Structure 1
Amino acid sequence: MSAPTHLAPGRLSAPRAAGPNARLHWWALALPALAFGLLLILLAGSGEAHAASGEGSTLVHVTERLLRVVG
């Protein structure tokens, strides 16, 4: 004997099972793509690394500020 299905208030139907027509949220594709792009930029710029001097590239400044905000 099966139990009746109870729906949460405000829901019109039961959740659909994941299948070939399942959809992703926009951030599920955007965040990995953004992370890949940032890592690619960091790797591409590492070949031109120089000893620390008074001047730095814009990418270095942006990365340093980002690390300060995150960390």
Structure 2
Amino acid sequence: MSARTHTRPHPATSGGVDIRLPWWALALLALAFVALLALILNPSDAHTATGDPAIAQLLQRAQELLGR
């Protein structure tokens, strides 16, 4: 004797989760793309950031400790 399977009349949903990006997320993505494209096209505009020497020394010490 075989059992009958019940089919759903409509496709299953994911529980009402809405996966849509807000407008500013797309604008931020486009802005980042344009900025990276501008750096690729004209690399002379990309200047190295001059940081605080104390932070550089701290990072160097951390790198030395991790290298041991």
In the superposition, the TM-score normalised over structure 2's length comes to 0.34
In the superposition, the TM-score normalised over structure 1's length comes to 0.33
- Larger CA Rg, structure 1 vs 2: 2
